[in-house]
Amino acid sequence: MHPPITGTAAGVPFTALPPADGASDSEGAAPLIVTWHMLDAPRSDAAFAAALPMHDVPAWRVHLGMPMCGARMVDGKTDAVVALFQKDPLLAFLHPFVQQAAEEFPAALASLREQLPVADGPIGVLGGSLGGAVALTILAETDIPVFAAALVNPAIRMRSVVRLFPGDYPYDAGSERIVDGLDFVAKAGSIAGRAPLLVVSGERDHPDLRADAIDLVDAVGDAMGNAAELLSIPGLEHPLADEPGIEPAPQRPLTREVDAGLAAWFRRHVLAAT
């Protein structure tokens, strides 16, 4: 088992896990899977890599840091993020974080291809919680080739995420437009034609997020046959790691089940794509 490789790609911090020995092609390159972590625990690229390492997948697993997380925390603390969602959970926190992570990805991907021996073909994408909205944005709104995608307890309808914050959100015309633009069930037709999709959903996740996961799988399935699968994990709540969730930590037993499901999914599709 190789140790993680850390670095930055076009300013985005990453933790990369090399593929298993013998997984590279004749030129020494292997497929690439890119992930975006949760804002709950695990809330950094290093912690997400430890929670969901997907060992034995014959591909690079490169875990990107979300804005203001991990190496990009302000003063090494989460206080600045807390201040943003207290100010306005949608306009100051959720939307700009997803937007920034999606907009900085093409340059980060190009930099990863320069730094690591990764194949030039389609990539895999994985997102957890708010990182799931980033992965869905890549699927719905870009033409970056993807061979398989997976989500874990994802943010699929941003209205559902906003409801997790205290109080009634004061929507106006502008915020209604933004939150509707982050409804990926409504974009299922665009997502369905992009790549096979696995949605991992904890049966004890927030009820609205759990319902959205089921709705997305149904909507993508309706649009594209058997292009989407739901993997339910009994007993799994929303977080995948213990607090504070910034540093790498031992896997929880239920997180190990998530990891096994993701590894099986990506192994299947990596082999089909190579």
- CB burial of residue 190 (10 Å; 0-12, 13-18, 19+): middle
Long-range contacts of 181-185 (CB under 8 A, 24+ apart): 182/94, 182/95, 182/98, 182/133, 182/155, 182/157, 182/158, 183/156, 183/157, 183/158, 183/159, 184/133, 184/136, 184/140, 184/156, 184/157, 184/216, 185/156, 185/157, 185/212, 185/215, 185/216, 185/219
pLDDT score at 26: 47
Domain containing 190 equals 5-273
Number of domains comprising the chain:
1
pLDDT score at 175: 98
pLDDT score at 76: 85
Ramachandran sector of residue 215 (left: φ over 0; alpha: ψ -120 to 50; beta: rest): alpha
Average confidence (pLDDT) per 10 residues, the chain, 274 residues: 91 95 66 97 98 96 97 91 95 98 98 95 97 98 97 98 96 98 96 94 98 96 81 98 96 98 96 73
Residue 113 has which token pair? Answer: 């291809």
pLDDT score at 44: 98
pLDDT score at 24: 58
pLDDT score at 22: 56
**CB contact burial 11-33 (16+ within 10 A = b; e otherwise):** ebbbbbbbbeeebbeeeebbbbb
Q: How far apart are CA 195 and CA 118, in angstroms?
A: 19
Strand-pairing partners, residue 14, are 7, 64
- Identify the CA nearest to 66 among candidates 17, 159, 131: 131
**What residues contact 160, with CB distance under 8 A and at least 6 apart?**
206, 208, 209, 211, 212
Q: Is the pTM of this model over 0.75?
A: yes
Q: Which ranges constitute the DSSP H helices of 169-252?
A: 173-181, 188-192, 207-224
Which CATH number characterizes residue 197's domain?
3.40.50.1820
Residue 23: C-alpha distances to residues 26, 117, 150, 273 (Å): 10, 11, 21, 13
pLDDT score at 3: 86
The pLDDT tens digits for 48-96 are 999 999 999 999 999 999 999 999 999 888 899 999 999 999 999 999 9
- Mean pLDDT score of the chain: 94
Please measure the distance between the N-terminal and C-terminal CA atoms of the chain and give it in whole angstroms. Answer: 22
